[in-house]
Amino acid sequence: MSSRRTAGRAGAVTALMLMSAGAAVLVPTSASAVPTASWTPSSGVATWTVPAGVCSVTWSITGGSGGGFAPGAEAPTGLWGGRGGLVEATLAVTAGDAFTIQVGDRGGHQNVAGGGIGGLSGGQASGGTSPGGQYVSGGGGGGATIVRAGGASDAPVLVAGGGGGNGSEQGGDAGPSGAAGTNLSSPPAGGAGGGTTSTGGAGGVASGGAGPSNGQAGSSLLGGNAAEAGGGGGGGYFGGGGGSSNKGQWFYSSQGAGGGGGSNFAAPTATAVTNSQATTYGAGAAAVTTTACPLPTPTIDSAMWGTAGSAELFFSFSADDSAVTGVEYSSDGGVTWTAASASRISGRNWSAVVTSVSQNSSTTLVLRAVGASGTTPSSNAVTLTPSRSGDDAAALPAAAALPDTGAELILAPVGTALVIAGIGTAMFVRRRAIRVPGDRRRNERLRG
């Protein structure tokens, strides 16, 4: 590195004049979306890391539907249990942040041979199960879809609840608070309560009849199991309760009430939140869309002449600059722009070398940042003025070394000025270092 550059970074540069220093500002225009990542129940417990240049992510997740009235009856809407929840939300992020995703599956349909199995969440228990009666069972509760900021043991930031499974009556939908399952009137069996934002749904309660049996309450992230032919509770931030079951006075085939839907959840840090029910039935899903960081406008902090025909600008950003891919400069007030050779010094501090500039006259320069989303407005302007008249610095005449080894100085006359270059970080000039050959009296007078 030349002594000129070192001096410019360490202190004032006589050729520098900052014309309109200003703070960097964020320019949120032209933010760009990048391709979406998505997951299904078969993804298991999945992880995803925020890529570089991304400052926010928008999630869209749905929970699994509750199991329906008959095996394999997946197309007709009326044969399904309750709908899964829908949560859409935007979260502010930093590149490198990690998320863990578990997608909820649908609840198992009613099965004479066995109960309707509760829908899993990333392969883990979530929706409540219907154990089944002598001749019929209820549907299992749908599994919740869960997004965590961090690892699998960290608290959820988003949850879409699962729908309640059907018994002989309809299971409840998931939602901000899950809906209760429908009661069975004869023999009397109570539908389970839906999960709320703070507690699991109550299990259904049966009374009278030939064999009343109550469902279990839901809990954090888990739907309650049903009794015999009742529907299982949907998983959720808090799961719905399991439906109760009963037998008629004159026959002994179990019948059951619907399970409660699980509750949705979005962390307080989430913005642009949609909290409702899915519009379709089936397994849950999760998808994320990333939004690039807005480009921050650079601020020129200092500048200096470089080698012949070039200058070096030192600039910084006041906000995240991970989306910056380069900079351009203009010497005509922003009419034309040229790419500069830029590099990061440390943190948000950068330098850029601009070329094809004359060092014989004043030159005003501005910068703008470049990224995938476009370019920023111009930075503050900096004007470099020539430190001498004549040719560029590269055309200086050869310097003559003085024999005085104590001063370690090199002197070269340039017009009426005297250019002094020193070796080391500290310099001083002694009067006797300036000698005029053949002038003994002047040299004696300068001695000391």
**Using an 8 Å Cβ cutoff, are 234 and 142 in contact?**
yes
Q: Are strands 324-330 and 363-371 parallel, antiparallel or unpaired?
A: antiparallel
Q: Tokens standing for 157?
A: 């930031």
CA-based nearest residue to 231, from 179, 189, 181, 184: 181
DSSP conformation class of 437: T
CA-based nearest residue to 226, from 234, 238, 212, 216: 216
Give 3-27+294-384's CATH code, choosing from 2.60.40.10, 3.30.980.10, 3.30.200.20, 2.60.40.650: 2.60.40.10
The pLDDT, as a whole number, for residue 433 is 38
Spatial distance between the Cα atoms of 115 and 134, rounded to a whole number of angstroms: 11
Mean pLDDT (10-residue bins), the chain, 448 residues: 35 31 28 68 96 91 90 53 97 95 94 80 95 80 98 97 93 97 85 93 90 93 93 97 82 82 98 96 95 92 89 93 91 94 94 88 93 91 74 39 43 39 37 44 44
The pLDDT, as a whole number, for residue 356 is 84
The pLDDT, as a whole number, for residue 447 is 44
DSSP E strand boundaries for 331-381: 338-346, 349-355, 363-371, 374-375
The pLDDT, as a whole number, for residue 409 is 40
The pLDDT, as a whole number, for residue 395 is 36
Measure Cα distances from 325 to 46, 96, 309, 331 in Å: 30, 18, 25, 21
The pLDDT, as a whole number, for residue 254 is 79
* Phi, psi of 382, deg, nearest 5: -130, 135
pTM score above 0.85: no
Residue 37 pairs in a beta bridge with 288
Instruction: Tell me whether residue 389 is exposed, middle or buried, using C-beta atoms within 10 angstroms of its C-beta: 0 to 12, 13 to 18, 19 or more.
Output: exposed
The pLDDT, as a whole number, for residue 70 is 61
Spatial distance between the Cα atoms of 25 and 107, rounded to a whole number of angstroms: 51
CATH 2.60.40.10 placement within the chain: 3-27+294-384
Question: How crowded is the C-beta side of 373, counted as CA atoms within 13 Å?
Answer: 27
The pLDDT, as a whole number, for residue 134 is 67
